[in-house]
Amino acid sequence: MKRQRILALLIALLVVTVTWLAGCAKARPTVTPVPRVAEAVPTAVPSVTPLPSATPSPTATASPSATPSPTITPTPLPPQPPRLLSRSPERGEEHRPDAPLVFRFDQAMDADSVGRAFSIEPDVAGTLSWDDQRTMLFTPDRRGFRRETEYRVT
């Protein structure tokens, strides 16, 4: 057992030494000779006298015309179904038998179609009225809602 440890230690030491020596023995860069450029001999350049030329006269340019910016036409959203924002009484809230039910919608409503679709089970006689285009009231007749009764309003 002891011999195996010593042998493993010697192998590890050998690997570290070889790796270190390989790193130290990097090849040195070689110098590449640069060829010499022949010295430039000055040569006489003949002088040229420029010919007289006509000076161009300025031409009139058209004034820039303003480009109309494109008009942005928003795409209308498709009609959204109405949502009930609030109701009174809220679910589970106590309600006086003669008090109206109040419904507030997120958009103007068609009073006739809402009146045709409105129902209460069990049946309660009463009238529908509108405070504005978004707020509907159902006021029961003088008998009102019965106590201890659960109603389903659709």
Averaged pLDDT score across all residues of the chain: 81
pLDDT band at 106 (very low <50, low <70, confident <90, very high): very high
Asked if pLDDT for residue 148 goes beyond 70, the answer is yes
Angle at Cα 19 formed by Cα 22 and Cα 3, nearest 5°?
140
Secondary structure (H, E, C), 76-103: CCCCCCCCEEEEECCCCCCCCCCCCEEE
Q: Tens digits of per-residue pLDDT, 115-131? A: 999 999 999 999 999 99
Go through 71-108 and write b for each residue having 16 or more CB atoms within 10 A of its CB, e for each that does not: eeeeeeeeeeeeeeeeeeeeeeeeeeeeebbebebeee
3-state helix, strand, coil in the chain (%, to 5): 20, 20, 65
The domain made up of 84-153 has a fold known as Immunoglobulin-like (2.60.40)
Q: State mean pLDDT over 86-97.
A: 87
> Residue ranges of the domains in the chain?
84-153
pLDDT band at 42 (very low <50, low <70, confident <90, very high): low
Q: State mean pLDDT over 129-147.
A: 92
Which H helix or E strand runs over 20? helix 2-24
Among all chains, which residue has been given the structure tokens 């409105």? 118
What is the three-class DSSP state of 121? strand
pLDDT band at 69 (very low <50, low <70, confident <90, very high): confident
The pLDDT score that the predictor gives to residue 40 is 53
- Tell me the sheet residues that pair with 138: 101, 128
Q: Are 145 and 95 in contact (CB under 8 A)?
A: yes
Torsion angle (degrees, nearest 10) of CA 102, 104, 105, 109: 60
